[in-house]
Amino acid sequence: MRIIESYLRVAEKADTFSDIFGYRLVAPIFPVAAIYGPQEESDIFEAKLDKCIKDQYDYFADEYGYDSDEKRRRLQREKYVFYDC
């Protein structure tokens, strides 16, 4: 499988998202389509990501039903917890 050309652009925007909101997007929110295609699904995700960054609001939290504040609290609480797999 080849990585689609827009992946680097989307990954950079995902990094910007994590800088703003304090956590990274992972699957299923960050779709595999953003990496491998199809391009149409990647474009839809990129548009949602752009909207989140522009409005400084996590629309993915509304769509997927998670509490972004709780996520940030948990990350802060477990900041120095390392898991050995």
What pTM value is reported for the model?
0.80
| Size of the chain, expressed as the number of residues it contains | 85
- Ordered by start, the domain boundaries in the chain are 7-77
Angle between helices 7-21 and 39-55 (to 10 degrees): 30
Using DSSP's 3-state secondary structure scheme, residue 15 falls into helix
Residue 81 pLDDT grade (very low, low, confident, very high; cuts 50, 70, 90): confident
Mean residue pLDDT of the chain comes to 89
The predicted pLDDT at position 4 comes to 85
